[in-house]
Every structure is written in structure tokens, then in C-alpha cells.
């Protein structure tokens, strides 16, 4: 367990009293990281991320320095460093210019409450597996309906817990 006086001194040295950045503690007992939270973090002033090691940090530092516990899943790692990299990568990819076109991050899994629809590339037929005909027909309305239907199907099969908050994820492909 990281000592409270040592960790608090490190946090204090990295921040000031008026520092607007959220103070995150990577922890399996924290609220699960969501795409909505990632969007908020990416749009904000940055974050201070604290990583425990093995048993974590002294509980008094969590309360005394206002640390928000964040989890990246229902499993335990040896430390928070890998979890912090997950947060960092998820945020950085949303920064303007990182993915190229601004539209690139709009149609992703979790952005519309659904998992993403399948993607295809060339050749048209690969090992007896053709691209669905609707995708090469040029009917953008039919393509949007197919994408929505596939996203709903995949979400129902793999993550039915996500379906309650689904929004539209139709539109042009970003591949």
C-alpha cells in the first residue's frame, strides 16, 4: 500500500489548489470507464492519474485529495499503469487531428449505445466470403439501415446490456 504522506506530497507537487484537472485513481473498485467519460476527459484540461501498485493506496489519500476511482474492467492488474495507458489512449484518439477527419470517431462502438457494425474491404470475395450486396449497391439509405440492423444484432448477441441507451449510428463509413 502506498503511504499516504508520500503519495499526497507527490499529488501536491503535481497540482495546485486551483488545478481544474480531475484526479483519477485507477482502481478495480472504481466506476467503470465509459466512452462518455472518455469524451469528457478528452474535452477537458487533462487529468492527473494516480496508479497504485498491488494493494493500492492509503484510503485517506483518496478522500483527502479528492481522487475519483476509475475501473477499466472487472479484473485485477498488478498496478494501475496499464489501466492509465488505456485511459490515455482512449482520450488521445479523440483529440482534434489525431484520427484525421473529425468524423472518424463518430461511428464507433459505444458512441451510439451499440457495438459497431461490421467493416469490409477488398477483395469483394475472399475465401468464399463475399461482401454483403447492400454495401456495394450505392443506396446510402439501405446501407445506413443495414449498418443499424447489424449494430443492433451484434449488440443483442454480445452486449445486450448496452441496448437500453442506444442512439442512431448511421451515416458514411470512416474506413
pLDDT above 90 as % of the chain = 77
Peptide bond into 34 cis (omega under 30): no
pLDDT over 80 at 84, yes or no: yes
- How far is the C-alpha of 31 from the C-alpha of 35, rounded, in Å? 12
Q: Are 4-92 and 102-165 in the same CATH fold?
A: no
102-165: CATH number: 1.10.1270.20
pLDDT over 80 at 171, yes or no: no
Q: What is the pLDDT of residues 125-137, one digit of tens each?
A: 999 999 999 999 9
The contacts of residue 102 (CB under 8 Å, 6+ apart) are: 96
Q: What is the pLDDT of residue 55?
A: 87
- How far is the C-alpha of 5 from the C-alpha of 7, rounded, in Å? 6
Q: Please state the domain extents for the chain.
A: 4-92, 102-165
How many CB atoms neighbour CB 148 within 10 A? 17
Concatenated DSSP letters of 50-83: EE-BTTBB-HHHHHHTTPEEEESSSS--SBSHHH
Query: Which class does domain 4-92 fall in?
Result: alpha beta
Amino acid at each position: 500500500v502506498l503511504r499516504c504522506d508520500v503519495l499526497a506530497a507527490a499529488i501536491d507537487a503535481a497540482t495546485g489548489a486551483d488545478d481544474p484537472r480531475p484526479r483519477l485513481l485507477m482502481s478495480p473498485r472504481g466506476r467503470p470507464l465509459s466512452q462518455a467519460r472518455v469524451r469528457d476527459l478528452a474535452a477537458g484540461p487533462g487529468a492527473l492519474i494516480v496508479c497504485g501498485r498491488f494493494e493500492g493506496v492509503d484510503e485517506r489519500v483518496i478522500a483527502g485529495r479528492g481522487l475519483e476511482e476509475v475501473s477499466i474492467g472487472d479484473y485485477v492488474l498488478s498496478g494501475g499503469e496499464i489501466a492509465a495507458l488505456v485511459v490515455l489512449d482512449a482520450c488521445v484518439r479523440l483529440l482534434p487531428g489525431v484520427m484525421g477527419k473529425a468524423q472518424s470517431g463518430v461511428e464507433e462502438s459505444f458512441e451510439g449505445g451499440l457495438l459497431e457494425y461490421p467493416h469490409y474491404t477488398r477483395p469483394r470475395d475472399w475465401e468464399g466470403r463475399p461482401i454483403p450486396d447492400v454495401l456495394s449497391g450505392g443506396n446510402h439509405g439501405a446501407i445506413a439501415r443495414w449498418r443499424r440492423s447489424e449494430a443492433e444484432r451484434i449488440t443483442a448477441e454480445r452486449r445486450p446490456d448496452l441496448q437500453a441507451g442506444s442512439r442512431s449510428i448511421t451515416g458514411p463509413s470512416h474506413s
